[in-house]
Structure 1
Amino acid sequence: MTSEDSPALPRLLTAGPDLLAAALVVLPALNDPRPAVLVVGAALLVCVVAGFLKRRRSLLAAVGVLWVTLLAFTPGAVWFAFPFYFLLLRDLPRRTAVAAVAATGLVAVAGFGWHQHVLTVGTVLGPLLGAAVAVATVVVHRESQRRAELTEELAAAERAAGVLAERERLAREVHDTLAQGLSSIHLLLSAALRGDTERHVRAARAAAADALAEARRFVKDQNPPALDGGSLPSALHLACASTAATADLAVHCRVTGDEVALPTTHQVALLRIAQSALGNVVSHAGATEVRLTLSYQDTDVTLDIVDNGRGITGAGAGGTDPDPAPGQDRGYGIAAMRARARALAGDLVVESDGRGTAIAVTLPVPVA
């Protein structure tokens, strides 16, 4: 990773090494003002400044050659190795940089020996420990930077997942409420055009009022109106009565078992699944009768919707997604119902044999 890949590197890895390198080029010239030292030091200073401005890796080679040349003239140049470590680690690929840092440390040790004609523990360990510290500093920084990037990516993925989940939830709500209400109004107005206008118009008006109430609840993120102050069985009876009133269809609603207090999430899911299934029967099944049964059991609650319509082409037992008949919604209603059930650790099964369709959804009863 180079500085161009990450413009937000801390100051230690940007301007700091360049400024320190420039200072340590000037220092030997002040202590040893021989012409050769001044010329080589000036050339080295120009390369350091150019490297800071251009950030070209080719300049590092020139800096290295000029530094070794300056080190041959004056021992004060040995201190240039420490900022040079960071320049190499900043501007070269990791493996190449580590090898270059190791070579620089050995050259610095050799420079000490060349000028002092003896090597001590300090002159050997000093440059090598400096190289190790530089490598460790950069490795730790890059690791922390990588973790920060991963954290940002994870946060972005979570936000995207949240947006998709909310979009799916909105789609289910619109499909199960507003879309079903508008479909009922359309059927009623179509029937009104064929005769018995007043009765169907009144029914369409009632369906529009229900759809408006659902829309307002939807905007305010409240419970369905049918569940406000009522129970799930009464809400299902109301949904069946509304369906029977808006369609030429016999709708039977039955509740078995001892009623169990379910969480609001479970009641809303079962009511929405019932409304969606009844809407599909009215719009697509061509049925004359539909039976809805809510069964309370010890550990779960089951909702069955069975009609005697034309069935769903390609639907099979075991909960496989059906292949809707031509002209039908391509199974989104079934998919939305199954998503509601699975969100509550439940399951939904669709069975159809051409003589009708049976939908069964089972939700576990949460332990009090």
Structure 2
Amino acid sequence: MVEHRSGSPDAGVEAAEGSGPAAGASGIPGSAAQGSGIAGPEAAGGSGTAGSDPDAPRTAGSDPDARWLALLMHAAFFLLLGASLTRFLMRHPGEARTPWIIALSITLAVLYLLGPVLGSRPTPRRLTWLAVLVVVWMVLVVLAPSFAWCAVPLFYTGLRILPPRAALALVALLTVFVVAAQLRLADGFDPNLVLAPPAVAAVATAVFVHMQRQAVRQRELAARQRELIDDLLRTRRELAATERREGTLAERQRLSMEIHDTLAQGLSSQQMLLQAADRTWSADPDAARRHVRTATGIAERNLAEARRFVHDLAPADLAEGGGLEAALHALAARESAQAEGALTVHCHVEGTPHAPLPDRVQSALLRIAQGALANVREHSGATAAGLTLTHLDDRVVLDIGDNGRGFTAEPEGVRGAGTVRGHGLPATRARVRQLGGTLTIESAPGEGTVLSAEVPLTTTEDPT
């Protein structure tokens, strides 16, 4: 081959440029830029690091940076291939090997274009393609050393497609081949031709591996972030479901207390009055009729309460206007009338509120008073009871006292023999707790009972 004749002028020219391609693979600035920053001609599939998972490709379509790097590397490869072919045709026009150089250059270009079509995973077809690509390039370098400029893209192609050890072996093989080809053209031994290509190949490989490891870390970080977001969304859904369940339970408890303090108490009173009327119907018809009329009045009140439940669950006394004070006075008068002299209930209001009480507070305090007076009427045997509503600067206090038989008060959560049965006291505690207040019960056998509900005006929500 003409370029291998060391004594010819062309050989001298080729030798001078023969070191150029090696430097291009190793030290020329333009080629070094390609070697350090481009993730190979297959960066369109940017996934495959030597050592990364080949089954998790990082495609150019999914990564804008990888797409731009791929386009840049493709352009660089064809620019270098075209420059090498142009130089050869200008230096050696009309030689016998020229058709072979042209044919092999076209073949190399076509093979390179097939790379992205075959995908980025190391399938048998992909490995065969890489082997043919490298062989064609080697033949071109033997015929014309200037084609060694294309070594750098081949470095990255091998690093991206092959497993780590195979990729490093290919880089070493290509480097040795470039050095051997250049040494054949040199007039004497040149240390730069031996040291520069391996050094730059090592640097380029290190840069490539580092870049790809960074890409893997970024993908892992993105995956962890997606997992965290999924966990957060799942936690939010679970929290929302829990809140809905708690809201449902709270609403059930509230309805239970509302029904107990109104309909259940009214039905209990009606039962007692009708039983009394039945017992006295023959002996004292007038008294029996009074009991029936009283039971009818209670039934009317219960019907109004039931309709109020359907409408908005507000107490009927409050819905009639006049506020909590008027509702408590009406409750005291009604309880006294229903007892027919057996129980007298008085109502007293102390202080003046600085602002209207919240509807929740008014409704809860009225229900507490209704439940407490029902217990007084049914269980205490008292002849007198009193309601006292006290307005203070930062709280409101409702006291319900009676002169009944009393009982041994138990701490909250302890149920003793003297504790009132049913839902009354637990419901009262729950109402006060929901308003952020406190409930106090003072009682002793034979000394009556005082129930005190204190509600702050700054906090009307259950602190728990």
User: What is the TM-score with the length of structure 1 in the denominator?
Assistant: 0.68
Where in structure 2 are the equivalents of 1:267-306 lying within 5 Å? 267-306=362-401
| CA distances 1:40-76 after superposition (whole Å, capped 9, x unpaired) | xxxxxxxxxxxxxxxxxxxxxxxxxxxxxxxxxxx97
Q: Does 1:169 align with 2:254?
A: yes
Q: Does the CA-based 8 Å contact 2:158-2:167 persist in structure 1?
A: no
CA distance change for structure 1 residues 127 and 300 in 2, over 3 Å: closer, same or farther? closer
Where in structure 2 are the equivalents of 1:250-269 lying within 5 Å? 250-260=343-353, 261-269=356-364
> Which deviates the most, 178-187 or 216-225?
216-225
Q: Does the CA-based 8 Å contact 1:214-1:225 persist in structure 2?
A: yes
Instruction: Give, in whole Å, the separation in 2 of the partners of 1:141 and 1:254.
Output: 64
Q: Does the CA-based 8 Å contact 2:389-2:397 persist in structure 1?
A: yes
Q: Does the CA-based 8 Å contact 1:250-1:288 persist in structure 2?
A: yes
- Name which of 248, 264, 276 aligns with 1:191: 276
| CA distances 1:63-90 after superposition (whole Å, capped 9, x unpaired) | xxxxxxxxxxxx9775468xxxxxxxxx
Q: Does the CA-based 8 Å contact 1:348-1:361 persist in structure 2?
A: yes
Q: Does the CA-based 8 Å contact 2:276-2:291 persist in structure 1?
A: yes
RMSD of equivalent CA atoms: 3.1
Q: Does 1:144 align with 2:144?
A: no
Instruction: Give, in whole Å, the separation in 1 of the partners of 2:351 and 2:371.
Output: 25
1:238 partner letter? A
CA distance change for structure 1 residues 190 and 150 in 2, over 3 Å: closer, same or farther? same
Give the equivalent residue in structure 2 for 1:124: 209
Q: Does the CA-based 8 Å contact 2:57-2:121 persist in structure 1?
A: no
| CA distances 1:276-314 after superposition (whole Å, capped 9, x unpaired) | 001111222232322222233444332211122232344
- Name which of 106, 111, 116 aligns with 2:166: 111
Query: Which one has the largest radius of gyration?
Result: 2
Instruction: Give, in whole Å, the separation in 2 of the partners of 1:146 and 1:164.
Output: 27
Instruction: Give, in whole Å, the separation in 2 of the partners of 1:80 and 1:142.
Output: 29
CA distance change for structure 1 residues 345 and 127 in 2, over 3 Å: closer, same or farther? closer
Q: Does the CA-based 8 Å contact 1:223-1:268 persist in structure 2?
A: yes
Percent identity over the alignment is: 37
> The residue matched to 2:121 in structure 1 has which SS?
helix
| CA distances 1:105-136 after superposition (whole Å, capped 9, x unpaired) | xx52x332111115323332244233223322
Instruction: Give, in whole Å, the separation in 1 of the partners of 2:270 and 2:334.
Output: 12
Q: Does the CA-based 8 Å contact 2:332-2:345 persist in structure 1?
A: yes
Q: Does the CA-based 8 Å contact 1:310-1:354 persist in structure 2?
A: yes
Q: 1:31, CA displacement in angstroms?
A: 0.8
Instruction: Give, in whole Å, the separation in 1 of the partners of 2:167 and 2:127.
Output: 18
1:300 partner letter? R
Q: Does the CA-based 8 Å contact 2:305-2:316 persist in structure 1?
A: yes
CA distance change for structure 1 residues 281 and 80 in 2, over 3 Å: closer, same or farther? farther
CA distance change for structure 1 residues 268 and 123 in 2, over 3 Å: closer, same or farther? closer
CA distance change for structure 1 residues 306 and 324 in 2, over 3 Å: closer, same or farther? farther
Q: Does 1:246 align with 2:338?
A: yes
CA distance change for structure 1 residues 211 and 276 in 2, over 3 Å: closer, same or farther? same
Give the equivalent residue in structure 2 for 1:209: 300
Q: Does the CA-based 8 Å contact 1:217-1:225 persist in structure 2?
A: yes
Q: 1:142, CA displacement in angstroms?
A: 1.3
> The residue matched to 1:262 in structure 2 has which SS?
coil
Aligned residue pairs: how many?
283
1:161 partner letter? E
Instruction: Give, in whole Å, the separation in 2 of the partners of 1:308 and 1:250.
Output: 10
Q: Does 1:28 align with 2:126?
A: yes
Give the equivalent residue in structure 2 for 1:48: none
Give the equivalent residue in structure 2 for 1:323: 415
Q: Does 1:343 align with 2:422?
A: no
Q: Does 1:134 align with 2:197?
A: no
CA distance change for structure 1 residues 130 and 242 in 2, over 3 Å: closer, same or farther? same
Give the equivalent residue in structure 1 for 2:445: 354
> The residue matched to 1:24 in structure 2 has which SS?
coil
Instruction: Give, in whole Å, the separation in 1 of the partners of 2:393 and 2:237.
Output: 46
Structure 1, unmatched stretches of 5+, are 1-15, 35-74, 82-106
Instruction: Give, in whole Å, the separation in 2 of the partners of 1:222 and 1:201.
Output: 28
Structure 2, unmatched stretches of 5+, are 1-54, 60-117, 133-155, 173-200, 281-286, 460-464
Instruction: Give, in whole Å, the separation in 2 of the partners of 1:129 and 1:256.
Output: 76
1:239 partner letter? L
User: What is the TM-score with the length of structure 2 in the denominator?
Assistant: 0.55
Q: Does the CA-based 8 Å contact 2:277-2:292 persist in structure 1?
A: yes
Instruction: Give, in whole Å, the separation in 2 of the partners of 1:251 and 1:22.
Output: 95
Q: 1:214, CA displacement in angstroms?
A: 0.5
CA distance change for structure 1 residues 265 and 134 in 2, over 3 Å: closer, same or farther? closer
